[in-house]
Structure 1
């Protein structure tokens, strides 16, 4: 029935019912449903079928039996929606039986395309994790599949891969995204020989994205010289790389103390440091750090509710007093907001997409900009993570599983932390979005920005 059913609604119900059946029956139905290539672009069925396989994943022999047929591998639903997920599921678990099933899938894969899909899933599972301790059979299957990418070989920490990766991250002729991916891996594996190269990239690379990635990766290494050198070249960093440097220097108490000492000697340096970063320093709960901050900035706890209300009322009168120029507002949005927020398919993905936000409600818009912590959308809660090696990290959880947590902060960089390395993790009632954004603009710039924000469709 499942193989010949012509109605997509019935196929959906079969997939839903299969999860509740015994593994043999459930997998038989699922195999037939996966033969419906017309469902590859359906918004629901591919995930319904994956959920059956995920539910029955511990039926290792039956799963492998499904993949003995080379034609089954080539079904569009299997290629597009199953292979990568299935390999990731087995690799994430890490049990010997699951890793043996992962080996069996690699050994059975009938073509390079299928092996590539499997290896993509395997690499995603091992982001931030060492490959030490993998069973010999799986290592042999990986090698027979081409060894995986240089990123995967780097996670194995072979001398050849480390040497090649260190050379590639310094090769400006390569694509920035390729270099950046390798730089990020050096922040996820313990490779002290990478420190001088990462510092060199952070200080001098022509690409701000590479400098930011290098600074993010350097957070993983505790050496005091890292903080000292970043402080020395901090004033020369381009604006786009400054947030990553702020995150690094605020992540370890010893680096923060060095930074504050430097600022005390040259007080003008404090003007470049956002209050959100200063507040992060206080998370160390260190008396020396708190005393230095009090001396340099005074109270940094933020405006009172009454002060915020006065600001909202003032900005509301200003915006309604005359019209703004939305084209100028677009430029201001790109500079002030676009690194974190998307509007009309333009901008970053750190914060919520504003396109569907109720932007014609001026009062609510102003409330959330002046007091960004008043309402924090689900998925954008701000977390503080204290690690066993002394780091204090801050951001929202972009991804997590039973082995790793991936944080993303205001600098846009991803920090991968093994759960075994986390001493404490908790949500805090303060948005990563800084307060005071509108105070940095002229009155006309505020009008222009809101003329763009309140537009109902993209500018022509």
Structure 2
């Protein structure tokens, strides 16, 4: 038999008939509110709400007395709310009940009405000041959002003075939830508490100070900027560096708009481009920095122009002096670490005026780390002339950096065309460019690029299932044909796999740890290598970022916030992209791990590698 489960009942339990609730008078329905049968109690409460009877109000009010058991008092409170009898006196009785659960429901039902009589409001504030237990404090924080800013902040202020609540799992976040909801409409009251000498006196106040700084900065209004300056001025000297970090975070998020709740791309293949684009909200306009906050950032940069955080703040504020000092540092700085930090900042704040200086660094005999950082700084500025300048340097570049240059060029349509035209002229051998570096070119939808791709590489799409199955059989036969050398196998693993994967503490952490996997079924191991995109765990999905200049950057999403995203590519190179630079961020069905890795190995090298993997 099949069907829905209608009832679960013990074997020896008697079958009881339920009363017809529609036929019962209100007084009997009120008695059923405390029935041990929860379903019956809920149905009785619903029936009272459908046909309220004012005659039972005195009976229910009597059950709110302090000496009445909590279960009965709760039922009476719900009943009064259902029949419209929860007036000021009944609410005060509930808020004064000795049982916390009754007080919690008194607070909640008051908040549901979004207003409170003066006596009730005073009682709520008393509850907040009276070191309430966590469940009462949590409900006060939740309901504070529903009241006016004046009453809501009057409830939140004393709660944030109580360090005993800071250790709770939920209450601190509920307090922030209420605070941020009133941070704009009640800005003056919020600043009166936080931008004050005692604004750092408790743990809850200290924890919410940087969040509030970020919130006001992200607001992108003159009033928000002024609030940030007030918070900073009132902060102790030891806390100001932390506030500067949160200020920068908020400023980078000013244009960010939260998108609507969607199906997370589940039906993107069935939806048209217009439907997908409609889910992406446009950037939010924001006011340029001005007033006390602009003065503050200017002074901070003037004090320590080389300090990275202050420099980023100055660049975010658009200070010409910051651009000038950054340009000068690129020429005068001799310390390698400091120079790399400057180039990293420049990659986050692209400036075409410094392209010659960065290109000169790339041409120079600087260390490989400096050249790599210079290349990342040039990536957002790529165009055809710059691509030609980079390709002209190929003969003097070491192989690793040469490959990295080609990878960067393949991420920009204009630069990729320059690269493929060089291949077409015979200046660069097509075989020297791995097909996995050519993947982004398919995303540009450029006919000229497509023609050159087909001419020199044919079809660079992933192999068919039949081709992959044939590869697995071929590799299996090669493995059975002889014995591998474990020592040589470890060196091969480090060279071809160790950048991303770790086996027995050898290798990197970009991809999954494989110590347990490599000793499993041989066919499964080969299948995962030959077809890496067949199964990809969610934490290793490839994200593809397209910038407003047309550049495409792909990799694992390792960091994300409202202001930026950070991707790590297959060569373990990090790219931090501001949300302002992004046109689109999507998930690719193709694994970051390239196909045809094993085809680079001879049969003996294949046996050596697997001998070490499976020892």
Verify: 1:179 aligned to 2:342, yes or no: no
Give the secondary-structure state (helix, strand or coil) at the position aligned to 2:534.
coil
In structure 1, the partner of 2:162 is 32
Does 2:194 correspond to 1:67? Answer: yes
- Whole-Å Cα distance in 1 between the matches of residues 203 and 128 of structure 2? 17
- Pairwise CA distance, 1:66: 4.9
Alignment match of 2:384 (pick from 224, 249, 262): 224
Change (3 A) 1:78 1:357: farther
Contact 2:220 2:254 in 1 (8 A): no
8 Å CA contact 2:547–2:581 kept in 1: the answer is: no
Shift of 1:195: 0.3
Question: Within the alignment, does 1:116 sit opposite 2:213 as a pair?
Answer: no
Q: Does 1:91 align with 2:217?
A: yes
SS of 1:395 mapped into structure 2: strand
Matches within 5 A, 1:142-153: 142-143=297-298, 148-153=309-314
Where 2:180 maps in the other structure, the secondary structure is: coil
In 2, are the aligned partners of 1:251 and 1:393 still within 8 Å (CA)?
yes
Tell whether the 8 Å contact from 2:163 to 2:204 is kept in structure 1 after alignment: no
Which stretch shows the higher mean deviation, 381-390 or 182-191?
Answer: 381-390
CA displacement at 1:230 relative to structure 2 = 1.0
Whole-Å separation in 2 of the counterparts to 1:199 and 1:169: 11
User: How far apart in 2 are the matches of 1:34 and 1:392?
Assistant: 50
Give the corresponding residue for 2:180: 57
Q: Choose between structure 1 and 2 for higher RCO, CA contacts under 8 A separated by at least 6 residues.
A: 1
Residue equivalent to 1:214:
374
Deviation, 1:397, is 3.7
User: In structure 1, which of residues 280, 295, 311 is the aligned counterpart of residue 440 of structure 2?
Assistant: 280
Q: Distance in 2 between matches of 1:202 and 1:55?
A: 51
- Distance in 2 separating the partners of 1:171 and 1:442: 49
- Once the two structures are superposed, what CA deviation does each residue of 1:395-443 show, in whole Å capped at 9, x if it has no partner? 3444444554444433423141435751x54333212221122222344
Runs of 5+ unmatched residues, structure 1:
456-460
Residues in 1 aligned to 2:576 and 2:462: alpha-carbon distance in whole angstroms: 27
Deviations 1:338-363 (A, max 9, x none): 433456777556x4342687443344
Counterparts of 1:4 and 1:170, CA distance in 2: 63
Moved more, 58-67 or 207-216: 58-67
In structure 1, the residue corresponding to 2:587 is in which secondary structure?
A: strand
Shift of 1:337: 3.1
Unaligned runs of 5+ in 2: 1-126, 145-151, 256-285
1:289 maps to what in 2?
449
Contact 2:343–2:374 (8 Å) recurs in 1: yes
Question: In structure 2, what is the equivalent of residue 238 of structure 1?
Answer: 398
Number of residue pairs the alignment of both structures matches: 437
Please give the TM-score of this superposition, normalised by the length of structure 1: 0.78
**Whole-Å separation in 2 of the counterparts to 1:128 and 1:226:** 30
Q: CA deviation at 1:144?
A: 5.4
Measured against aligned partners, the alpha-carbon deviations of 1:109-166 in whole angstroms (never above 9, x if no partner) come to 111x200001122234456999981132212333455575233334444444333323
Contact map agreement 2:544 2:588 (CA 8 A) in 1:
yes
Partner of 1:458: none
Displacement of 1:259 in angstroms is 1.0
Q: How much is the aligned-residue C-alpha RMSD, in angstroms?
A: 4.0
